[in-house]
Amino acid sequence: MTNLQIFLDIATEAALSAGVVLQDYLGKVEDAITEKGRPGDLVTAADKASEKVILEIINRHFPQHSILAEESGKLGNQTSEYLWAIDPLDGTTNYAHQYPCFAVSIGLFIQGVPKVGVIYDPFHNELFRAAAGLGATRNRRPIKVSQTSELSKSLLVTGFAYDRRETKDNNYAEFCHLTHLTQGVRRGGSASLDLAYVACGRVDGYWERGIAPWDIAAGIILVQEAGGQVTAYNGGDLQIDSGRILATNGYIHNSLSQKLMQISPLSAW
């Protein structure tokens, strides 16, 4: 097996193990929910327990690797060319309300480039996996992006940042405008699943601002290996730390990018 296959298998082991934890905690965290400094930015006992399981598995197999985890921050050897970006519970607000849209997301950057990604939805038992050059799968079967070629016939998905109440740099204007230009815009509440749904063709495009590397690390390679395109809003190279991402099936990428660049922010309305 190649190193990427090994990394993919270990990430899968970690994601599935964390999924068991999330299933066990589901509906039992009402008294263990706190906010991480911003209204609506929740953390539960399930987040922490899930992350603990993932970290144990990653550290056992790759003790010299670097880790960036949502709850624990930077860990391990920060000079390593290998960086694991971990979201133990993407969609915590959904989870806290028992709304069935949440996932475990584990991605691996090698020299700053996304190379391996695993996203596991334990509620629906859907496992999305990808590695550079190895393709993308859902429950071990190959997946591809949609072939929708017109923005007017597309279905999009997006999300709203936790600081949307305080910042004018939100995407409310884009949401409203693109709702009129497409067949619809959905808001699931889990960035990793949004990207997984682009990869398997359930939606044709996704954009968001205010996201962290652990939100998108796994989904980037998933979309790319499924034949899609991932860039910055303007179509240029994606900057992982920018907090903004545009991912599509490729066919509507340019038109969606152009619309995003043309829309005035809500504060200008």
Encode pLDDT of 1-38 as tens digits. Answer: 579 999 999 999 999 999 999 999 998 866 555 555 55
What pLDDT is attached to residue 8? 98
Check if the beta carbon of residue 50 is closer than 8 Å to that of residue 21: yes
Which pLDDT tens digit goes with each residue over 85-110? 999 999 999 999 999 999 999 999 99
206: nearest Cα among 253, 259, 162? 253
Q: Centre a 10 Å sphere on the Cβ of residue 252 and count the other Cβ atoms it contains.
A: 23
What pLDDT is attached to residue 267? 58
90 labelled ligand-binding: yes
89 labelled ligand-binding: yes
103: nearest Cα among 191, 227, 208? 191
70 labelled ligand-binding: yes
Which residue type occupies 26? L
What pLDDT is attached to residue 27? 87
Check if the beta carbon of residue 196 is closer than 8 Å to that of residue 225: no
Question: With the C-alpha atoms ordered 91, 178, 203, 244, is the resulting torsion angle positive or negative?
Answer: negative
Which residue type occupies 267? S
Q: Where are the alpha helices (DSSP H) in 62-161?
A: 92-96
What pLDDT is attached to residue 161? 77
41 labelled ligand-binding: no
Low-confidence ranges of the chain (pLDDT < 70): 1, 29-43, 163-167, 265-269
Structure tokens at 127: 């496992």
What pLDDT is attached to residue 45? 87
Domains annotated on the chain, with CATH: 3-142 (3.30.540.10), 151-261 (3.40.190.80)
